[in-house]
Amino acid sequence: MRVLTTLAILLAMLLGISVLAQPPTVPAVPFHDSLRGTTPLDEEAKPPLIYPTENQDVIRGLNYAQQPPTIPHKIDNYQLDRNANKCLACHARSRAQESGAVPVAISHYLDREGQVSGHLSPRRYFCTQCHVPQADAKPLVGNTFVAVEDVTPQPPPTSKKR
């Protein structure tokens, strides 16, 4: 019995070594990734051009409820850290009328318990966590998003009773 076990172990080891000794197979079709293109994984891909940020001050429509609005202007060199928030120079509720900017939403003044406070909530202080500037660039990946209002209701499935 021991001899059979030893032979089985030796046979498994020989098969493992022979599999490891073979070179890896390369697929006939070149590898393609939507972000890397056909650049092999062991090479550095050429980075795509950075598109210029739109600076049109046109407010875009929203695609779904609670969607954060996009930033319709450039924010290059804006200081946005724990010491300063350049966005509030125009968008603070006290300055929005004179600057003509959209004021910060009242939801940004709610604390964790849902109580309105007199200052911006720390959870909403860093604007670019949710709001982003836009560029007129080709999408990197496809999007099949459909708003809930545009979805045609389907009849419920019928169950067959026996």
Q: Which of 75, 69, 35 lies closest to 53 in space, CA to CA?
A: 75
Q: Residue 87 annotated as binding? A: yes
Return the amino acid letter for 52.
P
Q: Residue 91 annotated as binding? A: yes
Q: Residue 108 annotated as binding? A: yes
Return the amino acid letter for 157.
P
Q: Residue 32 annotated as binding? A: no
Angle at 73 between CA 72 and CA 75, to 5 degrees: 130
Supply 107's token pair: 């939801």
Q: Residue 73 annotated as binding? A: yes
Angle at 88 between CA 82 and CA 106, to 5 degrees: 105
Supply 124's token pair: 């909403």
Write out the binding residues. Answer: 73, 87, 90-91, 108, 127, 130-131
Write out the binding residues for heme c. Answer: 73, 87, 90-91, 108, 127, 130-131
